[in-house]
Structure formats: structure tokens, C-alpha cells
């Protein structure tokens, strides 16, 4: 006696039905697309994290430099400072110009990311 059963993946000749190919292709494309989106999100998160770390390092160092600039006398032609934080290190070299200081910053995170910034500071007299 022959047993008959229904197979959704293939017909009685053993050929896989077209809808199985279509569904499998859609699942593979969906998996590849999701993996690409995840990788893009990881890279974006890493970039934003580095940006905020550099910004934090710069703001702390910037505030410390303003104190040093206002403490310097008129005869000081250059200022070289180095600031170390748990995030990394920043170095600044300032040359006195008419009306202030022209400063070149180099920010370096512990991960090795480096950024250079040029900034001009007006010298203000310290309040007694």
C-alpha cells in the first residue's frame, strides 16, 4: 500500500518549489541587510564617542589655558603647556601676537586618535 503525504518544500518529482527559493532569498537578503546596518551603527557610535572625548579634553584644557594666559605678564612671548587627563593628553603652544595669543592645540586620546586645533585668544587683564 502506497502512503501519500503532502510536502510543502518539493513536489512528487523532488523539485523544490519556487516559493521556497523566494522565501530563502528574502531571508538571506534580510540577514545581510541587518548585519550591514548593525556595522554602520557601531561605527557611528564609535565616532560620536571619540568626538565627545575630544571635546571634553579640549574644554578642560581650554579652561586651564585661559587661567595661564591671564596670569602671564606682558613680556611673555610664548606659552607652552601640556595637560594630562584620564581620557588623554593635550598640548598647546601659543605665540603672542598683537592683541592676544595665537595657539595651536594637539589633542591625543588614549586610543591614539589625534586632532589639531588652531585658536586665537585675546588677552584680558586679571582683576586684582
Tell me which of 33 and 75 has the higher pLDDT: 33
Task: Provide the mean pLDDT of the chain.
Answer: 83
Report the SS3 class of residue 79: strand
Does 10 have pLDDT greater than 90? no
In this predicted model, what pLDDT tens digit does every residue of 77-121 receive, in sequence order?
788 889 998 989 999 998 888 877 888 999 999 988 899 999 887
Answer whether residue 124 shows pLDDT above 50.
Answer: yes
More confident site: 97 or 35: 35
Q: What is the pLDDT of residue 1?
A: 57
CA-to-CA separations, 101 to 81, 122, 127, in angstroms, rounded: 13, 6, 19
pLDDT at 127 over 70: no
Torsion angle defined by CA atoms of residues 43, 46, 52 and 57, in that order, rounded to the nearest 10 degrees: -130
Is there a contact between 94 and 102 (Cβ–Cβ < 8 Å)? yes
- Sheet containing 100-109: give its strands across: 78-84, 88-97, 100-109, 114-122
- 40-51 pLDDT, tens digit each: 999 999 999 999
Q: Name the grid cell of 77.
A: 612671548
pLDDT at 72: 66
As a whole number of Å, the CA-based R_g of the chain is 31
Amino acid at each position: 500500500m502506497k502512503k501519500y503525504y503532502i510536502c510543502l518544500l518539493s513536489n512528487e518529482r523532488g523539485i523544490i518549489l519556487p516559493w521556497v527559493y523566494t522565501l530563502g532569498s528574502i531571508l538571506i537578503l534580510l540577514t545581510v541587510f541587518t548585519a550591514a546596518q548593525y556595522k554602520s551603527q557601531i561605527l557611528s557610535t564609535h565616532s560620536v564617542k571619540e568626538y565627545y572625548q575630544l571635546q571634553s579634553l579640549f574644554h578642560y584644557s581650554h579652561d586651564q589655558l585661559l587661567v595661564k594666559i591671564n596670569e602671564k605678564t606682558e613680556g611673555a612671548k610664548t606659552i607652552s603647556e601640556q595637560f594630562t587627563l584620564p581620557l588623554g593628553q593635550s598640548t598647546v603652544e601659543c605665540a603672542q601676537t598683537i592683541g592676544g595669543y595665537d595657539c595651536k592645540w594637539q589633542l591625543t586620546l588614549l586610543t591614539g586618535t589625534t586632532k589639531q586645533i588652531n585658536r586665537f585668544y585675546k588677552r584680558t587683564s586679571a582683576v586684582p
